Structure 1
Amino acid sequence: MHFSHTRARIIRSGEKLFARYGISNVTIRQIAKESGVNSSTIYYYYQSKEDLFEHIVNHIELVFGEDFSIAVEKNDPLEQVSELCWLFFDKYNQNINLVTLFLDERIKSNQNERVKKTIRKVENTINEALEKILDNCRDLGYLKSDLSNLVYIKMIFGILVETILFQKRSGSLLKNENQTHQFLTFRNEAIHLIKGILMVK
């Protein structure tokens, strides 16, 4: 999707500020200053900061949704789980501000209904991919517990998020080879844990 240079700067600035401070703490004036335009230019494209936020979060849905379908196409459901987890981690490294924004905003309780609805839309994209994988696991006899798919989705997503938060706390950018190895090891262990949960009888 092509945007003018000005609009692209507004989007990048909004993404950066929302991820850093949260949507409720960011003003149009701050976005204008960060992007180097005046407020009226932002209002030309977006009626409010919520409009801009919705546009940005819709892009998160595309970021996740485009490739998550690939994971579900793997033959073995445990391979599907691994593929989806690695995609989630890759999407974080490629879109740190976007994914941080999504993860931070989804746990806040003070957003307006429009913001909540936008966040839920992204969660549903991830949940639908996990739901298909869990159904495949049940069909092939991996998943024998009576726990509902929703419980498993919350466990899996919780592990993925905690893994991301570990990397974020340790430094979002992989600064050296040793740190890169640590993160990869930690991610591998997280995926083994998820696969182990799915195989518990």
Structure 2
Amino acid sequence: MIPINKKELTSIQILEAALRLFKNYGIEKTSLAMIAKEVGITKPSIYYHFSSKEELIEHSFNHILRNYKFSDFFHVNELNKENFGEKLYQFGLDFLPTTEDDNYELIKVLNEFTLLSNRNNNFKQRLVSVQFEFINGFRNILLKGIDEGVIKVSNVDNYAQLLALVIDNIARSIMIGFNIDYKEVWKETVNSLLKEEEKI
């Protein structure tokens, strides 16, 4: 592990404090003074690390996206003929923000950046690339399922998009407190891909 110096450590503390406050108060309502107080430094000290609130927001966005990769939640290499449906179902449940866990916090902050993306083309492009990463990840899962002989669908691209849309919308529904039986919805989605004898 590469040791980090005091400046880098403080920068990380500022980023993490900013993300906590963005989650609780929103990006617009979070001030640099609030972030400085959270870290235990003066507001002018922030400018030693970030030239403006906009730069801090940009770095916060990049920081959070490093922890939001398809492969962190859906492990294609763990799927095989015997476990395909169950594993895919479980990966989806583990991804969904069901409690105040790290993923809940992650998705809550990402929703803040989604709101900003209407006015910030860089955020919009990055979020679109994350969506494509999820679509491509699901595409690889479906191709593996076809190789294993457990998937009944042939239009892989459409079903990869369907999986990405369903999991994203279930996550958003949970975040806003929309009470649905998300486990059953995800199970039906997974089962719609599988051959009859492979259904869970």
Q: Match of 1:74, as an amino acid?
A: L
Asked whether 1:159 is paired with 2:163, we answer no
Matches of 1:96 and 1:162, distance apart in 2: 14
Deviations 1:134-153 (A, max 9, x none): 2223442624354x52x333
Normalised by the length of structure 2, the TM-score is 0.68
Q: Select which of 74, 81, 105 maps to 2:79.
A: 74
What SS does structure 1 have at the residue aligned with 2:96?
helix
Structure 1 runs (4+) deviating above 6 angstroms are none
Q: Match of 1:122, as an amino acid?
A: V
% same residue: 19
Identify if the C-alpha distance between structure 1 residues 108 and 10 changes in structure 2 by more than 3 Å, giving closer, same or farther: closer
8 Å Cα contact 2:32/2:43 also seen in 1:
yes
Deviations 1:179-198 (A, max 9, x none): xxx99xx3431331211232
Instruction: Tell me the equivalent position of 2:125.
Output: 117
Matches of 1:38 and 1:65, distance apart in 2: 39
What pairs up with 1:81-160 in 2 under 5 angstroms?
81-89=88-96, 93-106=101-114, 109-139=117-147, 140=149, 142-146=151-155, 149=157, 151-160=158-167
Count of residues in Structure 1 that have an aligned counterpart in Structure 2: 185
Higher helix share: 1
8 Å Cα contact 2:14/2:39 also seen in 1:
yes
What SS does structure 2 have at the residue aligned with 1:53?
helix
Instruction: Tell me the equivalent position of 1:189.
Output: 184
8 Å Cα contact 1:22/1:105 also seen in 2:
no
Matches of 2:85 and 2:177, distance apart in 1: 29
Instruction: Tell me the equivalent position of 1:11.
Output: 15
8 Å Cα contact 2:145/2:151 also seen in 1:
yes
1:85: Cα distance to partner? 0.5
Identify if the C-alpha distance between structure 1 residues 196 and 123 changes in structure 2 by more than 3 Å, giving closer, same or farther: same
Asked whether 1:56 is paired with 2:63, we answer yes
What SS does structure 1 have at the residue aligned with 2:122?
helix
Q: Match of 1:156, as an amino acid?
A: L
Matches of 1:39 and 1:52, distance apart in 2: 17
1:127: Cα distance to partner? 2.8
